[in-house]
Amino acid sequence: MHLVRRRAPLGWAVGDNWPPEIAWTPPRVTSASDIEEARRHSGWACSGKGCGDVLRRVISGVIVAGVVGVTQAGTSAVAAPAATVPAQGSTQTAVLHKAPVRLDGLTELVIRRIEVGDEVAASKYFSGKPVEDPVREQQIIDSVRASAVQLGIDPDSTAAFFQAQIEASKVVQRGLLAKWAADPSSTPTSGPDLDAVRQELDELTTGLLTELVRVDHLRHTGLACDVSLLVATTTGAAKHHFDRLHRQALAVGTATVCG
């Protein structure tokens, strides 16, 4: 695992409790925009085994100062851990902490769907079918709305999330088709059957709906959701070696996760 600081972020000081890879205590933040600002100006780059755990420790320090401000504003940024109180006369002193909910699983499925966009692009390159498919798109949105009602999650938020997945796929398709048109030597040798690819997309839809149910509360926690999403997307993009095009698609696909 490699974590390097390309340039010193202003206002950061040496911290005594960070692992050897980390020699800085993050600045105070009080809003989600501060998280994005810290990410853009911190100069941190992380890759390799253990990257996600280290980033979580760094960003956990970033939100400590922001939790109070967010909570006072009426948003529960970080839920208090559940504890078991020992019965009277018991010698039990252990405190049981509930495992935190993260966005890794949801983000991983978003990434997988983006990767399937490569297959869709290859299929459409050989078939000549257009990127836009409004009938298919509406079928997906109508279906996930109905599923959201059955699952007890907000249908509008769910529809917006899946619309973002559709747009993310189109980012990849347009980018690859433009690349192949400009450089025929880079084109794929064959394209998969689009019906088979769509079956895979339908399976991913089921998985994404399951994850949306699991992280439903976290999606509405403001800063805590922003931090979890930042960690998940940063480590996910590194793990899958995403290039600029696919990182752009990932940003589109995760734009509606928190809110």
Per-residue model confidence (pLDDT) at position 85: 39
Please indicate, yes or no, whether residues 68 and 115 belong to a single structural domain of this protein.
Answer: no
80 found inside a domain: no
Q: Which of 72, 95, 116 is the last residue of a domain?
A: 72
What's the mean pLDDT in 34-63?
51
DSSP state of 23: -
The confidence band for 259, taking pLDDT boundaries of 50, 70 and 90, is confident
The confidence band for 59, taking pLDDT boundaries of 50, 70 and 90, is low
pLDDT of 181 strictly over 60 = yes
Q: How much of the chain, in percent, has pLDDT values that exceed 70?
A: 62
Distances from the Cα of 258 to the Cα of 54, 198, 252, angstroms: 22, 27, 13
Please indicate, yes or no, whether residues 125 and 187 belong to a single structural domain of this protein.
Answer: yes
Please indicate, yes or no, whether residues 126 and 249 belong to a single structural domain of this protein.
Answer: yes
Taking every pair of Cα atoms in the chain, the longest distance, rounded to a whole number of angstroms, is 77
132 found inside a domain: yes
236 found inside a domain: yes
Looking at the 3D structure of the chain, how many domains does it have?
Answer: 2
Q: Which long-range contacts (CB under 8 A, 24 or more apart) does 236-243 make?
A: 236/104, 236/107, 236/108, 236/111, 237/111, 238/46, 238/47, 238/51, 239/51, 240/111, 240/115, 242/111
Please indicate, yes or no, whether residues 125 and 16 belong to a single structural domain of this protein.
Answer: no
Task: For residue 204, give the nearest of 127, 132, 111 by alpha carbon.
Answer: 111
Most confident of 45-49, 50-54, 159-163, 188-192: 159-163
First to last CA, the chain: 32
Question: At a CB cut-off of 8 Å and minimum separation 6, what does 184 contact?
Answer: none
Residue predicted with more confidence, 188 or 37: 188
Q: Which long-range contacts (CB under 8 A, 24 or more apart) does 99-103 make?
A: 101/214, 101/215, 101/217, 101/218, 101/228, 102/215, 102/218, 102/228, 102/231, 102/232, 103/215, 103/218, 103/225, 103/228, 103/229, 103/231, 103/232, 103/257
The confidence band for 35, taking pLDDT boundaries of 50, 70 and 90, is low
**Domain ranges, residue 235:** 104-253
52 found inside a domain: yes
- Quickly tell me which residue has 């040496």 as its tokens: 14
pLDDT of 110 strictly over 70 = yes
Beta bridge partners of 215: none
Please indicate, yes or no, whether residues 115 and 198 belong to a single structural domain of this protein.
Answer: yes
Please indicate, yes or no, whether residues 171 and 213 belong to a single structural domain of this protein.
Answer: yes
Please indicate, yes or no, whether residues 49 and 147 belong to a single structural domain of this protein.
Answer: no
Q: Which two tokens stand for residue 107?
A: 């983000």
Please indicate, yes or no, whether residues 119 and 57 belong to a single structural domain of this protein.
Answer: no
76 vs 159: CA distance, rounded Å: 25
Per-residue model confidence (pLDDT) at position 37: 56
Q: Which of 25, 51, 72 is the last residue of a domain?
A: 72
Q: Report pLDDT digits (tens) over 65-102.
A: 333 333 333 333 333 333 343 444 444 434 334 567 89
The confidence band for 161, taking pLDDT boundaries of 50, 70 and 90, is very high
Per-residue model confidence (pLDDT) at position 145: 98
What's the mean pLDDT in 175-194?
95
Mean pLDDT of the residues in the chain: 76
176 vs 183: CA distance, rounded Å: 10
Per-residue model confidence (pLDDT) at position 193: 95
pLDDT of 19 strictly over 90 = no
98 found inside a domain: no
Please indicate, yes or no, whether residues 148 and 240 belong to a single structural domain of this protein.
Answer: yes
Q: Which of 48, 72, 96 is the last residue of a domain?
A: 72
User: Distance of alpha carbon 180 from its chain centroid, rounded?
Assistant: 28
pTM over 0.75: no
Per-residue model confidence (pLDDT) at position 231: 97
What CATH number did the domain enclosing 195 receive? 1.20.59.10
118 found inside a domain: yes
Question: Contact, 172 vs 117, CB < 8 A?
Answer: yes
90 vs 97: CA distance, rounded Å: 19
Q: Which two tokens stand for residue 139?
A: 């079928």
Residue predicted with more confidence, 32 or 148: 148
Per-residue model confidence (pLDDT) at position 76: 38
118 vs 115: CA distance, rounded Å: 6
Per-residue model confidence (pLDDT) at position 100: 77
Distances from the Cα of 2 to the Cα of 18, 40, 42, 44, 45, angstroms: 15, 19, 16, 10, 8
> Helix (H, G, I), strand (E, B), or coil: what is residue 208?
helix
pLDDT of 204 strictly over 50 = yes
